[in-house]
Amino acid sequence: MGPKDEKLYIVMVGLPSQGKSTVAFRLQDVFRRNAIPTRIFNNGVLRRKYSPHIDTWSSEFYNPANEEAVELRKQFALTNIRNARRYLNSQGQVAILDATNVGRERRQIIQEQLNDHPILFIQCVNNDKEIVELSIRYKVKSSEFDVLSEKDAVHEFKKRIEYYRMIYDDLGTEKNYLRMDSLHNKIIEEQLVDQMPLYSRIRDCLVTDVVKGLFLLRHTESFYNVEDRIGGDAGLTPKGQEQASALGRFFRKKKISYIFTSEKKRTIQTAQMIKSRQDDCTIVPLEEFNEIFSGICEGMSYDEIQKTMPDVYSDRKADKYNYVYPEGEGYITMKERIKIGIKKAFFLNRKTDNIMIIGHRAVNRMILSHFLYRREEDVPYIYIPQDKFYHIVATQDRKVFELKKYQ
């Protein structure tokens, strides 16, 4: 049996907001592009469709002691299980059950009912509090929570997670499973008893960063740029505002759900102009994308540094990548935080194809190097203009890297 005729159930496992649906979508995408008929069966979708009369926003609906609700949720799960089985017994090749499935009892039922083909359980774990918090805030935007204020909705959602936690059993007794860190796309543990020709493709997909459309922008002109000063937290000049507004016009027809920026005014102000032309767009400032911190040189111009601290100037010039500013950072020390920033942005962006990051000169060089594999010594010299942006696509079958003008 080869990958073309293997039938497989994939069962997602994990608390809400751990990235299960993102992983499910990614797998579906890869399979479909390889002509492997795949469908996702999502319990939440069924619940929202068939129980509009029930307050499914309420955490009490997920309380394991609420017998009526437990039974109703079980019925939705059984419906999806039946549909998945029917799908594989007709034209389908891979059926993905996307639900929390955190209790052993539920997984037992799945294994009993889906005994005609192998099952692979995929557990998603993400312990980053900030990301989970942002992800919850995004989730409560769904119409299910329309009756509540954002604050109350977040409260209900967190309580829902706690109820799921009460029945949480780790994977371990299942035949085939894989536990992954869904923020870092890393496999934590895996066990395979059945033969699964598709497994290597699945594994490869899970650990690969797929970029369908990354728009990497630098903030537009700031008051410090005009004076050639580094670091600081200056705002945009009138020309910078004009450039930002041109960016807004340029991107108005593209759907940008999130704009990831640094915590600095100049990136947030640039993002605000783009957001103003979008229907539903959230700006997420991440400290990981703050510009290189130049320590004792913050706020100085390159000229001033050369005159007053000639050693700093020449040492940096001699080995720019490895040089660390006194009491500050260097390209080399930024590497890890930039990597985390990229992971966070991709985790949160999930379902939409376009992702936008508005960063700074050094930050954008590091982000580009993440996708470009430049030699380290060349990274601090990558061209990062303010009147153009980078558009990057990196999937299994397409690689695009272009520098585009927006005006």
How far is the C-alpha of 359 from the C-alpha of 267, rounded, in Å? 6
How far is the C-alpha of 171 from the C-alpha of 13, rounded, in Å? 9
Smaller CB distance to ligand F6P: residue 6 or 315?
315
* Binding residue (CB under 6 A) for ligand F6P from 360, 368, 379, 392: 360
Rounded to 5 degrees, what angle do the CA atoms 56, 60, 65 make?
125
Q: How far is the CB of 292 from ligand F6P (least distance, A)?
A: 5
**Residue 291 in the binding site for ligand F6P (CB under 6 A):** yes
Q: With contact defined as beta carbons under 8 Å apart, do 325 and 296 qualify?
A: yes
Smaller CB distance to ligand F6P: residue 118 or 231?
231
Footprint of ligand F6P on residues 361-380 (CB under 6 A)?
A: 361-362, 380
**Residue 300 in the binding site for ligand F6P (CB under 6 A):** no
Write the DSSP assignment of 26-94 as a string of letters. Answer: HHHHHHHHTT--EEEEEHHHHHHHH-TTS-TTSGGGG-TT-HHHHHHHHHHHHHHHHHHHHHHTTT-SE
Longest dimension (CA), the chain: 76
At position 283, the amino acid (one-letter code) is: I
**Residue 134 in the binding site for ligand F6P (CB under 6 A):** no
At position 276, the amino acid (one-letter code) is: S
Smaller CB distance to ligand F6P: residue 288 or 291?
291
**Residue 221 in the binding site for ligand F6P (CB under 6 A):** no
Smaller CB distance to ligand F6P: residue 14 or 380?
380
Smaller CB distance to ligand F6P: residue 167 or 324?
324
* Binding residue (CB under 6 A) for ligand F6P from 14, 19, 118, 231: 231
Q: With contact defined as beta carbons under 8 Å apart, do 212 and 353 qualify?
A: yes
Q: How far is the CB of 231 from ligand F6P (least distance, A)?
A: 5
Q: With contact defined as beta carbons under 8 Å apart, do 194 and 139 qualify?
A: no
Footprint of ligand F6P on residues 254-283 (CB under 6 A)?
A: none
Smaller CB distance to ligand F6P: residue 349 or 364?
364
Q: What are the residues binding ligand F6P (CB under 6 A)?
A: 230-231, 291-292, 294, 360-362, 380
